[in-house]
């Protein structure tokens, strides 16, 4: 069992035992919190991690997205560059596209190279390509490369097999799954060009949800989530590898509440009929309240996940 923090070398201040609850095996896994940087992490990385990513794991399951409707396209264009006038604005107001807005704000052009690390079946990569971006993805858990319109868009590969350079390297809820965050951060620094950016979206233990639910916090997701970064621990890790944190934007939603309430009631995420917000455990008003509370937490920097933008220094 590891006695030192893998992020900063600090010592544990608290230990916890969390259960596997996505599939409901209820196996126990030990975690500890670092007294120094606050990172919550698994005590021992399971030797058989692949066993916890079965073929129906959500990011590896399902097909690629359909061609976007004109409404979605207009919403995306408006979010990205304010194109499309009033109609574009209206479409965006109905279905905001946070990701396209972020790409616009970061100044990512459509012909800039984008890498999605831990892309699963490549749904996000496909969507970006549908909107005209030059995106590709890698994921070590794929059993075969994924093609779209005759081009390979997602490869079964790890970070060290990629050359770059990229204008944008993205980790959408994949970074917390990587056994060696230092190696991943170093690879991201190597892959991103001088005026590029790294986008890391992760769950965070610097949140009300972790404090309120503890080991029932849905995004602890033992044993797949090896590291639940505190805001401080991610900053230290980034700065240790030649980045500065340019921006942190909380993007949590009601899942932190309804998912954690399920685990607190001993209901696995994938139990029949339990998935999605239609769970009979919760009333519509309760679910609405949690969405509202999530927006308030995001505004206060207390949500249970965030998007960090890192810039090379």
Q: In the complex, what is the shortest distance from the CB of residue 198 to Zn ion, in angstroms, rounded to a whole number?
A: 21
10 binds Zn ion (CB under 5 A): yes
Q: What is the dihedral of CA 153, 159, 161, 163, to 10 degrees?
A: 80
* Residue owning tokens 């095996």: 25
The residue (of 38 and 104) whose beta carbon lies closer to Zn ion is 38
* Residue owning tokens 């992020």: 7
Q: In the complex, what is the shortest distance from the CB of residue 203 to Zn ion, in angstroms, rounded to a whole number?
A: 17
226 binds Zn ion (CB under 5 A): no
d(CA 266, CA 274): 12
5 binds Zn ion (CB under 5 A): yes
Q: In the complex, what is the shortest distance from the CB of residue 39 to Zn ion, in angstroms, rounded to a whole number?
A: 5
Binding-site member from 18, 21, 34, 123 for Zn ion (CB under 5 A) = 34
Q: In the complex, what is the shortest distance from the CB of residue 6 to Zn ion, in angstroms, rounded to a whole number?
A: 8
Part in contact with Zn ion (CB under 5 A); list of ranges 30-38, 69-77, 133-141, 277-285: 30-38
The residue (of 8 and 307) whose beta carbon lies closer to Zn ion is 8
Q: How far is CA 48 from the centre of its chain?
A: 22
Q: In the complex, what is the shortest distance from the CB of residue 16 to Zn ion, in angstroms, rounded to a whole number?
A: 15
The residue (of 41 and 97) whose beta carbon lies closer to Zn ion is 41
**Helical (H) or strand (E) element with 231:** helix 231-239
Binding-site member from 33, 36, 253, 261 for Zn ion (CB under 5 A) = 36
* Cβ density class 184-197: b for 16+ within 10 Å, e for less: bbbbbbbbbeeebb
Q: HSE, CB side, 13 Å, CA atoms: give it for residue 51.
A: 10
37 binds Zn ion (CB under 5 A): yes
Part in contact with Zn ion (CB under 5 A); list of ranges 7-15, 16-24, 192-200, 267-275: 7-15
Task: Using CB under 5 A, count the residues that bind Zn ion.
Answer: 8
* Cβ density class 155-168: b for 16+ within 10 Å, e for less: beebbeebeeebbb
Q: For the CA atoms of the chain, what is the radius of gyration? A: 19
Q: In the complex, what is the shortest distance from the CB of residue 46 to Zn ion, in angstroms, rounded to a whole number?
A: 21
Q: In the complex, what is the shortest distance from the CB of residue 236 to Zn ion, in angstroms, rounded to a whole number?
A: 8
DSSP one-letter code for 250: E
Query: What SS3 class is residue 18?
Result: strand
116 binds Zn ion (CB under 5 A): no
Contacting positions for Zn ion (CB under 5 A): 5, 7-8, 10, 34, 36-37, 39
């Amino acid at each position: 069992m590891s006695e030192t923090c893998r992020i900063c070398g600090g010592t544990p201040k608290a230990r916890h035992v969390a259960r596997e609850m996505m599939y409901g095996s209820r196996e126990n896994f030990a975690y500890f919190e670092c007294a120094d940087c606050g990172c919550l992490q698994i005590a021992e990385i399971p030797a058989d991690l692949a066993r916890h990513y079965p073929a129906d794991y959500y990011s590896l399951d399902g097909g690629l997205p359909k061609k976007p409707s004109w409404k979605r396209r207009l919403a995306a264009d408006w979010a990205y560059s304010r194109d499309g006038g009033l109609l574009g604005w209206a479409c965006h107001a109905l279905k905001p596209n946070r990701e396209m807005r972020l790409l616009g704000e970061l100044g990512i052009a459509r012909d800039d190279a984008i890498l999605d690390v831990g892309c699963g079946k490549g749904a996000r990569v496909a969507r970006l390509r549908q909107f005209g971006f030059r995106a590709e993805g890698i994921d070590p858990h794929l059993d075969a490369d994924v093609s779209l319109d005759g081009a390979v868009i997602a490869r079964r590969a790890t970070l060290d097999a990629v050359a770059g350079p990229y204008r944008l390297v993205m980790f959408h809820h994949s970074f917390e799954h990587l056994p060696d965050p230092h190696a991943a951060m170093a690879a991201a620094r190597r892959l991103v060009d001088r005026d590029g950016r790294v986008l890391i979206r992760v769950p965070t233990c610097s949140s009300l949800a972790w404090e309120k639910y503890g080991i029932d916090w849905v995004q602890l997701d033992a044993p797949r989530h090896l590291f639940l970064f505190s805001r401080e621990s991610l900053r230290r890790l980034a700065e240790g590898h030649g980045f500065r944190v340019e921006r942190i934007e909380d993007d949590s939603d009601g899942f932190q509440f309804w998912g954690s309430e399920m685990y607190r009631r001993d209901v696995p995420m994938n139990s029949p009929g339990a998935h999605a917000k239609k769970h009979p455990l919760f009333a519509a008003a309760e679910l609405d309240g949690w969405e509202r509370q999530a927006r308030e937490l995001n505004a206060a920097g207390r949500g249970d996940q965030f998007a960090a933008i890192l810039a090379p220094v």
